[in-house]
A and B are shown apart, each in its own frame.
Chain A
Amino acid sequence: MATTEVRPAAEEPEHLEEIWEDDPGIPGFFSTIDHKRIGKRYIYTCFIFFAVGGVMALVMRMQLAGSDNTVLSPGAYNELFTVHGTTMIFLFNTPVLAGFGNYLLPMMIGTRDMAFPRLNAFSYWIFLFAGVFFYSSFLVGSAPDGGWFAYTPLTDKVYSPGLNLDFWGLGVAFVGISTTVGAVNFIVTTFKLRAPGMSLNRLPMYVWSMLVFSFMVIFAVPSVTLAAGLLELDRLFGTAFFVPKAGGSTLLYQHLFWFWGHPEVYILFVPAAGMISMIIPVFSRRPLAGYLWVAASLVAIGFISFGVWVHHMFATGMPALALSFFAAVSLLIAIPSGVQFFAWIATMWHGAVRFTTAMLFALGFLLVFLLGGITGVMVAVLPFDWQATDSYFIVAHLHYVLNGAVVFPIFAALYFWLPKITGRMLNERLGRVSFWTMFLGFNLAFFPMHILGFLGMPRRVYTYSSGLGWEALNLVVTLGSFAFGLGVLLTLINAVVSHFRGARAPDNPWGADTLEWATSSPPPDFNFEAVPVVASRHPLWDQQPLPVADSGIDDATRAFGPAGAHEHTTPITGGLRAAPETTMRIPEPTILPVVFAAGLAVFVVGLLVQALVVGVAGLALGLLGLAWWVWRIGEH
């Protein structure tokens, strides 16, 4: 069976490249469906949105640096905090995690692309169009200004007559399509495209986290789509969902929004924790402690997160029984979070830790997540929440969780995986400077906000009078936020410089254990000429040399070997143990996804400007795209 011959690089590399490469130039740009190109696009686009949203935060901090400042008008301030929050949640955090998933997940499970490559491209185009649509509000001078959760009745047509909130509502409903489609893709890819032998208990923890992420998206996003969608029906067509005098309910909006909104926090946190569970073991040079416990914790967080949404509505006057229930469930979530935390500590405790930049970011994450988690437990306690709600304490808490506990892992992931993506190492010294600047800046910026909250400073105020004792702390916050921004800038510079001048990255620069490190850096278009055969949770640690499959003689196993790479196919596996089932043909590059997405974008614009012609044209283009798609289904 197994021969001991060491495989030469690739038998006919030119030929394989020809089979897999995209069309050159602009047509190729629009028609690519390669998960790596799409993943990179996701990540780069997200970082542009991150930079824009970050600059908005800095401008807001300039306004708040001293009392009675006039950098911003009240209206401009409202627009900035709304667009900042919406950008960071919908256009940076969520899609950047999907982007890393797009790039990494197929390689981690040892396959050549996602289960639905065209859908994958479609999801990117929707995300891009939704982002551009949202930001075009600045061009017409009416950026959304109702806060990132856009509560009614403030956001009704009566109180917000302009187009501002329509950009928000339509944009949020639109970008939800992208997130949902991506989640469908991740789930089916994970269940059906794993390398042979990769049973569920050998799944890399990051893949587990993306699986939980995707299931949460599937069941949570419909709720925010409804919240934003019904709000838009109210605003555009005059329905009465959230109009109390016509029998509607403003509380209904809050329920719909937070039924997504709270799972969303874990939708962001779970993949970030998954990244940490990959990085800490590699730099502790030992397997993750308590693998099954950590996986079970991720799943438990997924379930529990759907039972906590009312803790965002503690101050709305609900029955005491409901409040107690949701407070208790909110406290419960500390348990699976704590299990993961101790697993990370135990991994390091028994390991030999190497302090690379990626590891520093992971350690920084542990500290800020600890603080964010503790304040989370505090606001889950009813009497405390009634005091702290809508104060800067909440601003501090949510930034420790959503900025600290998500952005730090994303930066750790950048230092860890960018060498695989670009084939170039990042500069470690600049990375360390960037980390310490970000870490100190972060705590300087967000820790004093807790105290400001206790001092009574409400969130979303565009200025404050002198004599309230808030000036000194606000100045510290502003200085800290600029330091944090500088730290981020250093990493962005690091990434750009390394792209051109970084040291060449070997296949596996960190001595890591999972399959994405088994292929070259950057990987070839087909990822694996022959698919690895997995017999361990840590294939690159336990299986040296790494067994790869040859092409079997039948349909079920043909795609595993080089024949699969030459025929533009990838294997389908099934069951818990990922046994071979059949062969999937990977579709050729096509502009179908971008056409379909553009049709939907035109439809959304038609709704915005209430132009029947535009809406019908967009809908027609979209339906045509759908029909074309069904026509092109390969029928295999």
Chain B
Amino acid sequence: MTATSPPTVQTVIVAPPPARSRGRSVGWWGMVVVIATEGTIFLGLLSTYFFLRASSPRWPPAGVELPELQLISVFTVVLLASSIPIFWAEAGIAAGRQGTLRAGLLLSFVMGAAFLGHQIYEYTQLSFRWTDNAYSSIFWTTTGLHGLHVLGGLLISLVIQVKAWSGKLSAERHVSMEVFSLYWHFVDAVWIFVFASLYLSVHLR
């Protein structure tokens, strides 16, 4: 086959078209897509939970003592509320207020860590191991995966806090905060569904 076009493409220089207002960063959009796929994982786990529940004659199986509801309800509030200081932190750095950024990040870190601490405590108190039956397996796996997401969030928060304290973030340059904030809200929001399915729906019926 011989070439049917000139060997090089002829070009002409023109002015670029007019700009529109600056949108979100590519990192933010990337996190939106990551959240879509991570959310699908949790959706799959919760579907698994309800599939197993629907195909069992008794749920939870005989002899299983349900995890208690009171303390976890308190720490649910703590986790969900930890989104608020993240809002402050992000709005703060967007306005150039380093103090708000640092305080907000630290406060939400402490609240997230408290939630994770309680989750580990709860694991030591549970009457069932994750190998006992399908109920215990899905309970441990779902809460465990969520806990890993909290842990990952805390790690990222630490790195961003180091960045914040060493003055690497500013009103114009804080993409990692913008992206992390989205991630943290997601981790909190997912817990609403996990909590409702694994705790509320078996206690309140």
Contact = CB atoms under 8 A, between A and B. Distances in A.
Is A bound to B? Answer: yes
Interface of A: 1-7, 115-116, 119, 180, 183-185, 187-188, 191-193, 196-197, 218-219, 221-223, 225-226, 230, 233, 237-241, 243, 246-249, 251-252, 255-256, 259, 354, 356, 425, 428, 506-511, 517-520, 530, 532-533, 540, 544-550, 552, 554, 556-557, 560-561, 572, 574-575, 579-582, 584, 623, 626-627, 630-631, 633-636
A227 B20 CA distance: 44
A240 B133 contact: yes
25 contacts: A2-B15, A7-B11, A115-B29, A115-B30, A187-B29, A240-B137, A241-B137, A247-B134, A248-B52, A249-B134, A255-B51, A506-B5, A511-B5, A530-B11, A545-B12, A546-B9, A548-B14, A554-B19, A575-B20, A579-B17, A623-B155, A630-B180, A633-B179, A635-B176, A636-B173
Nearest to B134: A247
A184 B15 contact: no
B165 to A, nearest CB: 13
A560 B16 CA distance: 7
B134 A230 contact: no
B4 A511 contact: yes
Nearest to A631: B159
B27 A633 contact: yes
Interface of B: 1, 3-23, 25-27, 29-30, 33-34, 36-38, 40-41, 43-45, 48, 51-52, 55-56, 61, 130-138, 140-141, 152, 155-156, 158-160, 162-163, 168-169, 173-176, 179-180
Given A184-B33, A506-B5, A239 B173 contact: no
A-B residue pairs, 8 tightest by C-beta: A556-B19, A247-B134, A545-B10, A239-B137, A635-B173, A557-B16, A549-B16, A222-B40
A116 B26 contact: yes
A557 B15 CA distance: 9
A623 B29 CA distance: 23
Nearest to B152: A626
Contacts of B159: 627, 630-631
Given A184-B34, A252-B52, A226 B23 contact: no
Contacts of A428: 1
Contacts of A247: 52, 56, 61, 133-135
B13 A249 contact: no
A2 B134 contact: no
A425 B158 CA distance: 53
Contacts of B168: 635
A332 B9 CA distance: 44
Nearest to B138: A241
Given A2-B14, A510-B4, A544-B10, A233 B137 contact: yes
A226 B169 contact: no
A256 B40 CA distance: 12
Contacts of B179: 633
B3 A506 contact: yes
A191 B12 contact: no
B30 A116 contact: yes
Contacts of B134: 240-241, 243, 246-249
A550 B13 contact: yes
Contact of B12 (A7, A219, A633): A7
B33 A187 contact: yes
Contacts of B10: 6, 544-546
Nearest to B9: A518
Nearest to A2: B14
